[in-house]
Amino acid sequence: MSPRPPIPYDFLPQVPALTVESDDVRDGETMSEAQVFDDWGATGQNISPHLRWSGAPEGTLSYAVTCFDPDAPTGSGFWHWLLFDIPADVTELPTGAGRAGSDSGVHGRNDYSTHAYGGAAPPPGWPHRYIFAVHALDVDKLGVDADTPPAVVGFNITAHTLARGYIAPVYET
């Protein structure tokens, strides 16, 4: 099998790094069934992982948290979670903060067409990377709504990012 390409964040503008940690997922390690989707033939629990971050630069007015699978066989990856307009004084999300109706911020529409965290459900064949990224933003509101397409939300996040950090666990079926 050929080597995987770089993580898409390698292609974004360089920004200072945030430190991102989790009690539930580890960089480069296999995610548990708790973070796996519960549909499309998968039987996970569909629970977003705990995340905590530090090191935001001065001028941070809000945060966004995203989960993206760059290895999805779509030609454009797969957005599993978009959470934005997180207040600047929040530096941790508990396990399960990605459920629909959570008041952690605005849950954008993911590629499952839900407004919540959607867990891993890759086709068989190779491990997929799930990039849980935290973005420190220079605006308190991103200026998009919950139904904005994920790529447009990502564009706006990138345009306002002061710093970024991520954890990239893997999962395969």
Instruction: For 34-75, write each residue's pLDDT tens digit.
Output: 999 998 788 899 999 999 999 999 999 999 999 999 999 998
Please state, as a whole number, how many other Cβ atoms lie within 10 Å of the Cβ of residue 28: 10
Using DSSP, state whether 152 is helix, strand or coil: helix
Report the number of distinct structural domains present in the chain: 1
Domain-located, residue 79: yes
* Measured distance CA(10)–CA(63) in Å, rounded: 20
Q: Print the domain residue range for 52.
A: 20-145
Residue 121 has pLDDT above 80, yes or no: yes
Domain-located, residue 43: yes
Domain-located, residue 11: no
The CATH number that applies at residue 122 is: 3.90.280.10
pLDDT of residue 4: 55
pTM score above 0.85: yes
Domain-located, residue 123: yes
- Give 9's pLDDT tier (boundaries 50, 70, 90): low
Domain-located, residue 55: yes
